[in-house]
């Protein structure tokens, strides 16, 4: 009888081992734990004893500074409605938007009636920490550029001018302090401490490079009408005016008229279609205004 009980016990133990192994083989696959978002908090202030207007807005954004586009990965916009500094802020960033090895920086500003009145320098943020408590961040008055000129490099708007102490370029929501470098022609500038960012002005045209990325050829201001483009073999002429476009071909064909293109389309047109047969603007180029050639 004792041997029979012992045999049953052994069989039971063996069955448990087999069943346990089978259940282990059918276990659910590993599931990655849900990561808590990155919390960014602090406050904004400034030293000047000037009250903020009721329509002021505080803007805090976190940007990925590892790419030329510098995409926004998190932000907070605060309608102040009469509130004064210090202005507290707190927002979260989904960690799936944070790439390993990328550099991130916090940028802040206060706007009134849609115009910046106070800004700050970018602050690096460590995305590996659970919370980035940046404390009180001091803003400084936004300084408009003197002798400023606006260029369009494809869809990118670039403003170049002078502050009290340096030349500055505003492009893609970034500000770059520039220094002049030797160039065979025109006036070429590089960003201070970043030779991979440059602006090379040649009168009404320029070339722009930001962190090694070259942008389309830059043209000063908005294209003005009328415009005229010509070509040979066979000869042709295209006139663009507010009333429409006229194409004259040296083939005996009658000219054709079309609606004028939008200004955005003109800005992106190739250089061969930008030949302007109109009096030059009486204003000098920004390099001449500043006494630089």
- Helix (H), strand (E), coil (C) string for 9-67: HHHHHHHHHHHHHHHHHCCCCCCCCCCCCEEEEEEEEECCCCCCCCCEEEEEEEEECCC
Q: What pLDDT does 230 receive?
A: 77
Q: What pLDDT does 284 receive?
A: 35
For strand 194-202 and strand 213-214, is the pairing parallel, antiparallel, or unpaired?
Answer: unpaired
DSSP bridge partners of 239 = 228, 246
Rounded Cα gap, residues 35 and 20, in angstroms = 32
Q: Coil, strand, or helix at residue 128?
A: coil
Are 61 and 74 in contact, with CB atoms under 8 Å apart? yes
DSSP alpha helices (H): ranges in 113-249? none
Backbone φ and ψ of 23, nearest 5° = -65, -35
* Nearest to 64, CA basis, from 91, 101, 92, 38: 101
Indicate if the alpha-carbon torsion angle 177, 182, 183, 185 is positive or negative: positive
* Nearest to 225, CA basis, from 259, 181, 177: 259
Global pTM reads 0.50
For strand 227-231 and strand 244-249, is the pairing parallel, antiparallel, or unpaired?
Answer: unpaired
DSSP code of residue 243: T
Q: Which residue has the tokens 């790419």?
A: 67
Q: Coil, strand, or helix at residue 193?
A: coil
Q: What pLDDT does 245 receive?
A: 75
Q: In a 10 Å sphere around its CB, with 0-12 CB exposed, 13-18 middle and 19+ buried, how is residue 179 labelled?
A: exposed
Both structure tokens of 292: 């630089």
Rounded Cα gap, residues 258 and 114, in angstroms = 37
Query: With a cut of 50, which residues of the chain have pLDDT below it?
Result: 2, 5-6, 8, 254, 271-293
Q: What pLDDT does 44 receive?
A: 94
Rounded Cα gap, residues 276 and 239, in angstroms = 10
């Amino acid at each position: 009888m004792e041997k029979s009980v012992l045999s049953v016990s052994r069989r039971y133990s063996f069955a448990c081992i087999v069943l346990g192994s089978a259940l282990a083989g059918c276990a659910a696959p590993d599931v990655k734990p849900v990561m808590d978002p990155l919390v960014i908090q602090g406050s904004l202030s400034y030293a000047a004893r000037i009250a903020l207007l009721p329509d002021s807005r505080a803007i805090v954004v976190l940007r990925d500074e590892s790419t030329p586009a510098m995409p926004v990965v998190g932000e907070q916009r605060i309608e102040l409605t009469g509130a004064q500094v210090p202005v507290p802020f707190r927002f979260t960033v989904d960690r799936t938007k944070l790439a390993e090895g990328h550099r991130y920086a916090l940028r802040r500003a206060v706007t009134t009636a849609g115009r910046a009145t106070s800004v700050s320098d970018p602050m690096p943020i460590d995305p590996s920490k659970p919370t980035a408590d940046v404390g009180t961040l001091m803003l400084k008055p936004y300084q408009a550029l003197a002798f400023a000129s606006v260029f369009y490099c494809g869809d990118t708007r670039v403003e170049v001018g002078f502050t009290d102490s340096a030349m500055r370029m505003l492009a893609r929501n970034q500000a770059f302090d520039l220094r002049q470098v030797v160039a065979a022609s025109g006036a070429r500038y590089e960003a201070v401490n970043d030779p991979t960012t440059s602006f090379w002005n040649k009168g009404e045209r320029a070339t722009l490079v930001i962190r090694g990325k070259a942008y389309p050829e830059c043209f000063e201001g908005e294209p003005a009408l009328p415009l005229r483009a010509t070509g040979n073999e066979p000869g042709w002429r295209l006139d663009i005016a507010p009333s429409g476009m006229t194409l004259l071909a040296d083939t005996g064909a009658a000219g054709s008229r079309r609606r004028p293109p939008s200004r955005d389309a003109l800005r992106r047109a190739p250089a061969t279609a930008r030949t302007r047969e109109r009096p030059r603007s009486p204003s000098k180029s920004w390099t001449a205004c500043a006494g630089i050639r």
